[in-house]
Structures are given as structure tokens and as C-alpha cells.
Amino acid sequence: MNSSQKISLEAIPLICEGIDLKGLNITPEEGFILSRLDGELRVRHLVMATGLALEQALKLIEGLVEKGIIILHEPKPKKTPELKKEKAKSPAKALINLKEIPKGEGFRELVKQLREVIDKVDYFQLLGVSREASISEVKKAYFRYSKVFHPDRYYRKIDPEFRRELQDIFKRINIAYQVLVDKERREEYIKQLAERGVEGAVEELKIEVIKKVHSGPKLKLGLGEDKEKAKEEKLKRMFEKIKSSPLQEQFQKAERLYELAMDEVKKKNFKSARMNLKLAIQVNPAGEKKYKAELERIDRLEQESQAEVFFEEGQAAESAGEYQKASRFYSEAIKISPENPKYIFRQAQIMIKYLNSFEKGRGLLIMLIEKDSKQAEYYYLLGMAYKGLGQKRASEVQFEKALELDPKHKEAQKELKALKRA
């Protein structure tokens, strides 16, 4: 019988109490598995979190069980008779009619009612999209809900308790969005809906979507409050033994850690990737230059990821008509990624169209054109900036350049025609 037949994917691996890891012969791969255990993670999600092949991960888990380091807990399935009704509903029906949002106390009552049922509806119902909805449709639904339930929309207008209620709702809306715009996560979520119902699926997926470290049950593992730090220290102690092994063995184990780090980077688990690379440096100091270069690359990738978050927040604020706020988010994105033309153009566009900051918008567009002079939209928007500044001739020149690049640019045609009539 192979490993996949022995171990249930629904089991929860738990580290046995009183285990002295120092005295055990633990491989780097087994140490990596142990570093992921938090008392709540199931085997199926442990496999996903490590990026290992299923058979390889199960073999490592089986080895840890045989060594007496971990046990496998089989949780009893929850009885949820009401949720079976939810599974039968294949077409998604919008939970809220966004066209009829009440105000004042009526809105408070709506939020209260929504909090009572939000755990009993699936993500498709929450966003009002079908299971076959395109990514574009999901994004549009998310932005519509952001206009209504984003807590910052009511800054200083609501009491702290009501703000927390809004934050709870928006957090769930945001999680729903993250799951449904990702093809793999959406498929996994639909699978969990079929297997466990609405509440079960939410519980199963929250680990990988929120990326949060769960406290889990207290197992007297010596992890204390700072669990992540304790795990890292534990792994460092294990790898002290490896330093005395032959050079070739050190190199192979370090490269395995490097490969694991690259897998984590693909999943945007930057913290885990850093930990693996730092351990690789400890195991094989000769490869320090290579591993440090990857650490620097990860820093850049994480910054780019943060910039994209700011940009998406700016889009949401812009969709909600909050242009000053959108401009602030775009500005934060540009601070992190000052060469990104997408961020710069969106900032210039909102400054010229909505904030009347024609001079600042003009400066941004000139910077874009210096790097790429083949975009008709840049010249059109620059023409609008000059128009706002009252420079008619300069405006005409930019509209003409836009039409040279795109003769069918309707907005440029319209503006140029209006200027020549004036």
C-alpha cells in the first residue's frame, strides 16, 4: 500500500508533545514540512502550501509519523443539513439589490442583516455573479460592492462599532473577489462547495486566501506567542548539524531549499521564500551570492505586488467617484514603481479629468511621451491638459499628433473640431 492510500487528505498533522527535535535525524525536507504545521492545516492544503508533488509530500508525512514526531488527527465532519439546500442552488442570485441601498438607519439594518447571513451564502451569491462569470464580470461586481461597503467611504461619519461591522463585510467581499478571479482557487472553491457546503468551503479556503498564521490549539510545543520566529529558530537548530556534512550533500540540500523558495515565489508567498533562501545560505555558504541575489529579487517582486494592490485600490476608489482618494493610491503605487507607465497614465488621467491639476498631469504625460512616443492616448490627454491651461494652439498640436497615430480617435477628432470652430 502506498502513502497516498494510507494518509487521508482531510487529516490534520499535529506535532507530538514533548518531542526533542535536536536528537532526531530530520532531513531538510521533513523540517520544511514541520515548519508549515500550525494545528489547523489539513494534509490537502499542506501539500498545496509546500509545492511538493503529492506522493513526495505524503511520503515525508508518513516518515514523520513513523518517527513518532507527528500524529494525524481525523476531524469529524460537521453536520450541516441546512447547507445542503445551498448546494442545490446552481444559478447565483444577487444577495443585495445595489440599486436600492437604503440610507441612515436603514443602511445600518441592511449591514446587520447581511452579517447574519454572510456565512450561509457562497461567494457567487455574495457578489451576484454566476459560476461561469468572466474575470471582468467578477471585477465589475467587486467594484460595485466596494462603492457601498468599503469602510473608508464612511470615514469619520460612523462610530467604531459600525465601522468594524463594515470591515467584516468588506473583508468577506474581498476574499470572495480573490478566490473568484483566480481560476485555480475558483475551481477548488467549487469543489469544496460540493464536498462541504458553504461554511465548510469558507473554512477550507481561508488558509490559502487570507495567508494568515492561525494560532491553533496550544500543544506545548514551545512556540509561544511568536510562532513564526520559533519555527525559524527550530529549523536553524536542525541545520546546524547539516553544516558538518560533506560538501556535495550540503550543496544538494541547499539547492533543494532554493527550489522550494522558487515555488513559494510563484505563489507570492514571499516570507516563506525568504526563509528557505536564508536557510540555504546557512547550509551552503558557498552559494551565498546566488541566494542573496534571489533575496533581492524577492524584495523587488514584493514591492511590485504592493504597488499593484495600491493601484487596484485606486481603481476601486475611482469607480466609487472618490477621485482625491484614488489619486493618493495611484501616487503610492508610483512611489514604489516610478517607471510603470500604467500607474503614471492613470494618475495623469484622473488629475486632468477630475481634479483640474492640469500642470501636474501635463508633467506626467511629457515624461510618458519621452519614453514612448507612439501612444495616441498620451497626446490626446496632453491636449486636454493644455486646453485646461488655456493654451489653445498647444492643445490643437497635441490633438493633431494623436490623430496622426490613430486617425479614428473620436475624442481627439471632437476636441480638435471644437477648437477650430471657436
* Window from 47-56, 199-208, 261-270, 304-313 with minimum mean pLDDT: 199-208
- Which is higher by pLDDT, 219 or 369? 369
C-alpha Rg value of the chain to the nearest Å? 27
Confidence of residue 331 (pLDDT cuts 50, 70, 90): very high
| H, E, C per residue of the chain | CCHHHHCCCCCEEEECCCCCHHHCCCCHHHHHHHHHCCCCCCHHHHHHHHCCCHHHHHHHHHHHHHCCCEEEECCCCCCCHHHHHHHCCCCCCCCCCHHHCCCCHHHHHHHHHHHHHHHHCCHHHHHCCCCCCCHHHHHHHHHHHHHHHCHHHHCCCCCHHHHHHHHHHHHHHHHHHHHHCCHHHHHHHHHHHHHHHHHHHHHHHHHHHHCCCCCCCCCCCCCCCCHHHHHHHHHHHHHHHHCCCCHHHHHHHHHHHHHHHHHHHHCCCHHHHHHHHHHHHHHCHHHHHHHHHHHHHHHHHHHHHHHHHHHHHHHHHHHCCCHHHHHHHHHHHHHHCCCCHHHHHHHHHHHHHCCCCHHHHHHHHHHHHHHCCCCHHHHHHHHHHHHHCCCHHHHHHHHHHHHHHCCCCHHHHHHHHHHHHC
What's the predicted TM-score (pTM) here?
A: 0.40
Burial (Cβ within 10 Å: 0-12, 13-18, ≥19) of residue 248: exposed
Rounded to whole angstroms, how far apart are CA atoms 227 and 221?
Answer: 10
Distances (CA, A) of 164 to 16, 95, 174: 38, 21, 15
Mean per-residue pLDDT over the chain, rounded:
78
Range of lowest pLDDT (58-62, 167-171, 332-336, 394-398):
167-171
pLDDT higher for 119 or 383?
Answer: 383
pLDDT of residue 19: 64
**Position with higher pLDDT, 414 vs 106:** 414
| Span 148-183, pLDDT tens digits | 877 666 655 677 788 788 888 888 888 888 889 888
Give the pLDDT band (50/70/90) at residue 90. Answer: very low
Lowest-confidence segment of 119-133, 230-244, 318-332 by average pLDDT? 230-244
Does 289 score more than 70 pLDDT? yes
Q: Bigger pLDDT: 100 or 315?
A: 315
pLDDT for the residue numbered 199: 61
Which residue, chain included where needed, has cell 511590485? 304
Instruction: Provide the pLDDT confidence category of residue 416 given band limits of 50, 70 and 90.
Output: very high
Architecture of domain 340-422: Alpha Horseshoe (1.25)
Greatest extent of the chain over all pairs of C-alpha atoms, in Å: 88
Band the pLDDT of 379: cuts 50, 70, 90. Answer: very high
- The residue with greater pLDDT, 196 or 175, is 175
Do the domains at 82-210 and 340-422 have one common CATH topology? no
pLDDT of amino acid 69: 81
Which has more confidence, 93 or 416? 416
Tens-place pLDDT, residues 219-278: 333 334 455 566 566 555 555 544 444 555 667 777 888 888 888 888 878 888 888 888
**Quick count: other Cβ atoms within 10 Å of Cβ 414?**
11
Q: Identify the pLDDT of residue 120.
A: 80
CATH topology of domain 82-210: Helix Hairpins (1.10.287)
Domain ranges of the chain: 1-76, 82-210, 238-338, 340-422
- Report the C-alpha gap between 63 and 47 in whole angstroms: 15
Supply the pLDDT for residue 239. 52
Q: What is the mean pLDDT of residues 373-377?
A: 94
Q: What is the reported pLDDT for 176?
A: 86
Q: What is the residue type of 217?
A: P
Residue 204 phi, psi (nearest 5): -65, -40
Query: What is the spatial distance between Cα 281 and Cα 77, in angstroms, rounded to a whole number?
Result: 43
pLDDT at site 410? 94
φ, ψ for residue 14, nearest 5 deg: -125, 135
Average pLDDT over residues 130-153: 83
Distance CA 60, CA 388 (A): 67
Q: Which residues face 13 on adjacent strands?
A: 72
**Residues of the chain with pLDDT > 70: what percent?**
76
Higher pLDDT, 75 or 217: 75
Which pLDDT score is estimated for 82? 43
How high is the pLDDT of residue 351?
Answer: 95
* Contact criterion met (CB below 8 Å) for 269 and 277: no
What percent of the chain shows pLDDT beyond 90? 24
pLDDT on residue 226? 54
Of 19-33, 71-85, 328-342, the poorest mean pLDDT is in 71-85
Q: Which of 57-66, 115-124, 169-178, 221-230 has the lowest mean pLDDT?
A: 221-230
What does the block give as the cell for 372? Answer: 514612448
CB 75 within 8 A of CB 216: no
